[in-house]
Structure 1
Amino acid sequence: MDISTFQHFLSTTATELAIKVLASIAFWIIGRWLIGRVVGLMQAAMGRNHVDPTLTKYLGNILAVALNIALVLGILGYFGIQTTSFAALLAGAGVAIGAAWSGMLGNFAAGAFMLVLRPFKVGDFVSVGGITGTVHELGLFATTLVTPDNVMTLVGNGKIFADTMQNFSALPARRVERTAQLAVGVDPIDAIARLRAAVSQIPNVVAQPALEVALLDMNLNGPVIAVRPYCANEHYWQVYFDTNETIVRVAREAGWPAPTPALVSRIIQAG
């Protein structure tokens, strides 16, 4: 290759290729920026119309993936690559990946069903897939929970949809389950009246459903009183701990003895 041919190559093919590479980089940067803007505008519009945040994030992720694929295909078309054959290749690869990642696709499908059925939303306190926590985000393949000990936990949507789901935030009030073990000799009727009066004064205990204080059981230690106040889910642990403290305080003020197992002795004389 002589100098004139090399110079001609640089002035035509190499220069054209360099321009295409630079243009592709510019298209990628600008395209990514535009995709971010479009997704952000869509999510902002849905937020102004009070659309469920779970649905907003989910649709935003789907739109971002679709626009990024369209951007890549557009850049390949600019380089002169036949995108139809590339799309066919992508479809074939999708089938192979789908067979290998059937679990991931199952998670994706389960996420779509959960958006339709709406068993919970962002901010709800739930128990799903063996994990209990507050829903932080519903993603394409997994749901993110923040557990009560402040640990970010991801649970696959497929596992959630196939398992039992409990939504503690769906109803306006939740029952706190506590018991008071009394000693033998303590009048359970008087104890029920004292505990009912004291527990009803705990902050954030709701009037409806009504507070339940009743004789639950009898054992060797004495009567067992069920103490069951109701409260909103966000006040659950405050009412839980305050109920424990109230039971101890009422027992101390009433002078109830500590419960101890009753011992029955029987003497059998030899005949």
Structure 2
Amino acid sequence: MFFSYFGKYILLLKAVFRKPEKFSLYWKEIAKEMVYIGIGSLALISIISVFVGAVMTLQIAFQLVSDFIPKTIVGSVNRDSAILELSPTICALVLAGKIGSSISSEIGTMRVTEQIDALEIMGINAPGYLILPKIIAGITMIPILVYISIFLALLGGYVGGVASGVVSSSDYIQGITTGFIPYTMAVAGVKAFIFGFIITSVASYQGFYVNGGALEVGKAGTKTVVISCIAILSADYIITELML
């Protein structure tokens, strides 16, 4: 079952990355998908990131029961947690539900209404035209969203920590600036890139091979979220093992 699924997945990707018939049509679709994935998800990612950063600051401060541990550690732990794990992974899991199910439903509806068959009859590479813009937009915009999420998580941690009194402004800022390793940002970027590819390609696969009607389209959306989340967490472990 797995090998059959993986084989069809690879064959679909080969068709997706075939040379486009007309680049101008693809650029319009790419721009539309970038707006949907990037700007359309910005508000949700921003709200989640701010609150996650604030909660993490409070929880880290709660664990610091010893007077011998400097308060600056709150900022440094929150920084590394946001960069390496929280922002990339939480953003990816949220976007798997929001974007993944939408892509799967969109392509699945086109499949059951025979719009994809019509494109193929006209000689258009349907996988390339429908899926390639989504993948390019995903691997481009999701890393940007992750970096925005990191900034907002640190900002939320600052506001939450200072407002609650668990850490002073100077201690928090000193914590997030002291001992910063730029390589961690590269790790976050690689994770975001891979997660973006997983979300868009898995969703497109599920939608493209829908058989049946509206019920099957709904099931494909559910399978997209489940498979994407499992693949994201697995990839998260592998990337962390290889890069750290």
The reply to whether TM is greater than 0.5 is no
TM-score (norm 2): 0.26
* Larger relative helix fraction: 2
Highest CA radius of gyration, 1 or 2? 1
TM-score (norm 1): 0.24
Higher relative contact order (CA 8 A, sep 6+): 2
